[in-house]
A and B are shown apart, each in its own frame.
Chain A
Amino acid sequence: MKYALQFVALLLVLVSCATAQPFRARAKDNRAPGFIPPHLVMERLSRMSPEERKRMLDRLPEDKRRITEERLRELESMPPVARERLRKEFNDFQGLTPEKQQELRNLFQRFSKVSEERRHELRRELNRLRSMPPARRAARIGDEHFRSEFNDEEREILQGLVETLPPPPPAPPRRGRPDSQLVN
C-alpha cells in the first residue's frame, strides 16, 4: 500500500505547514505591539491630526516628549529639498542591517562628543570623503595631510562613518517640490 505511505507523508507536510506558519507570524508580531516598519513611521505620523499626535506623544516621559516635539517642529520647517534628501538618507539607512545601524549610532555618539568646531571640520571631511571614488578616498585617508589634520579618535570616527554610511543620495534638484508632508 504505497499510497497509504504517501498519504501519511502528505498529511505530515500539510500539518507542519499549517502549524509552523502561524507560529512564525506570531513571533514576528510579538517583536513589538503595533510594530510598524521604521520607514513608514514618519509617513504615518504625517497623516495624524495635531490632536492625535499630541495624544500619542503624551505617552512619552516629559523630557523625551519635549525633545521629540522640538525635532518634529524642526523637521517640518526644513526646506522641501533638504527634507527630500533627508528622506532618502533615512530610507537608505533603513536598508542597512540592524548591526550596521547600531554601529552608526555608536559612531554618532562619539561624533557628538567632539567639540562643535571640530564637528564642523569632521562633517566637511566626511562629505568630501563620501563623494570620492573608493580609490581616491583610500588615498586621502592614507595621506599625511589627513593624518595631521585629524587626531586618532577623529580619524577613527571618520573612517567608520565612511565605511558604514550608505552612498550619499544624488545631488538635489535646483527647485524642490512643494511638500506638506513630513519625511517619507
Chain B
Amino acid sequence: MTMREQTMNCPVTTGNPQALLDYAARTAAPEQASVLARHMAICPECARFAEAQSQVWSALDAWDAEPVPSDFDERLYARIDAESRRSFWSRILGDSFAWKPAVSFAGALATVAVALVLVVPPNRVDQPSVTSPDTARAELDAEQVERALEDLEMLRQLSAGTSGGSSQAL
C-alpha cells in the first residue's frame, strides 16, 4: 500500500463524494481513478456509492431520448405568443370551456342547494333563541298570552272533571 493510498481521506466519510462521482462518470484523471479504485477495494461504503452511481450512468446510457422535431422552437414560440394574446376569461376557463353546459349544470346545482335550504328546517331559526329573562319578557306579546289562555280555557273546559280539579271555567 503506497503512502498516498494510506493518507487518502475517504470521500464518503468526509462528506466529499465529488471524486467518486467523477470516477463513476468516467471523468476522473487516470491517476485519481487508480487511487480511488484501490481505496474502494478496502472501503465498502465508497464501493457501494460508486456502484450505485455507475448504475445511474448505465441507465442514462441505455435511455434513448425522443427526437426533437425540427420545428419545435418555432411551435413553442408561436404558442407562447398566442397565450399572451388570450383574454383573461379564456385563460381562467380554458379552451374547452363552454358556457351553455356550464350554466345548465350550475343552475341545476343552485336549484338543489336552494331546495335543500328550504326543505331542511334550519335549527337556528326554529329553536327559541336563548335570551336573558329581561329580553324574554320584553318580547312577550299580550295577544300571544291572550291566545294561549283561550286555548287553555278550551282544554280546561273540555277536560273539566277528569283531574279532580275545579271544573269552573277560567
In the complex, number of A-B residue pairs with CB atoms less than 8 Å apart: 178
Query: In the complex where A4-B94, A47-B136 touch, is A41 in contact with B144 (Cβ < 8 A)?
Result: yes
In the assembled complex, the CB of B28 is this many whole angstroms from the nearest CB of chain A, namely 50
Interface size on A, residues (CB 8 A): 68
Are B113 and A16 in touch, CB under 8 angstroms?
Answer: yes
Main secondary structure of the interface of A (DSSP, over half): helix
CB-based contact B142/A1 at 8 Å: no
Q: Within the assembled complex, what's the spacing in Å between the Cα atoms of A127 and B159?
A: 7
Q: Which 4 A-B pairs have the closest CB atoms?
A: A82-B165, A1-B94, A34-B139, A16-B113
Q: By the criterion CB–CB under 8 Å, are B137 and A104 in contact?
A: no
Give residues 117-170 of B contacting A (CB, 8 Å). Answer: 117-118, 122, 124-126, 128, 133, 136-149, 151-166, 168-170
Q: Are B139 and A36 in contact (CB under 8 A)?
A: yes
Write the nearest CB–CB distance from A45 to chain B, whole angstroms.
6
11 additional A-B pairs beyond A57-B145, A68-B142, A85-B163, beta carbons within 8 Å, are: A12-B107, A16-B114, A20-B114, A24-B122, A29-B125, A32-B141, A42-B148, A45-B145, A56-B140, A86-B152, A108-B157
| B118–A24 touching, CB < 8 Å | yes
Does chain A have a CB within 8 A of B109? yes
A-B contact pairs, 8 of them (CB 8 A): A1-B92, A29-B125, A36-B144, A37-B128, A42-B152, A71-B170, A101-B151, A127-B161
In the assembly, what is the distance between CA of A83 and CA of B165, in Å? 8
Given A47-B133, A123-B161, A21–B152 Cβ distance below 8 Å?
no
**A79 is contacted by which of B110, B165, B170 (Cβ under 8 Å)?**
B165
- Does B68 make an interface contact (CB < 8 A)? no
A28–B170 Cα gap in the complex (Å)? 32
Q: Which of B95, B122, B155 contacts A89 (CB 8 A)?
A: B155
Shortest Cβ gap from A134 to chain B (Å): 19
In the complex, are the beta carbons of A161 and B158 less than 8 A apart?
A: yes
Contact partners of A25 in chain B: CB under 8 A: 122, 124-125
Q: Which of A11-60 contact B (CB under 8 A)?
A: 12-13, 15-17, 20-21, 24-25, 28-29, 32-38, 40-42, 44-45, 47-48, 52, 56-57, 59-60
> Is A44 in contact with B140, judged by CB distance below 8 angstroms?
yes
Binary B-proximity of A54-87 (CB < 8 A = 1, otherwise 0): 0011011000110010111011001101110110
Contacting residues, chain B, for A135 (C-beta < 8 A):
none
A124 within 8 A of B: yes
A24 touching B125, Cβ below 8 Å: yes
The answer to whether B153 touches A71 (Cβ under 8 A) is yes
> Which residues does chain B contribute within 8 Å of A68, judged by CB atoms?
142, 145-146, 149
Task: Mark A84-119 against chain B: 1 for CB-CB distance below 8 A, else 0.
Answer: 011001100100000001001100100110000000
Q: Say whether B149 contacts A17, CB under 8 Å.
A: no
Contact assessment for A168 and B106 in the assembled complex, using a CB-CB cutoff below 8 Å:
no
Between A86, A104, A161, A183, the greatest number of chain B beta carbons within 10 A of the residue's beta carbon is seen for A86
B117, A9: Cβ atoms closer than 8 Å: no
Q: Is the CB of A72 within 8 A of B105?
A: no
**Which single residue of chain A is at the shortest CB-CB distance from B149?**
A71
Residues of B within 8 A of A16 (CB): 110, 113-114, 117
Complex partner residue of B159 from A13, A48, A89, CB under 8 angstroms: A89
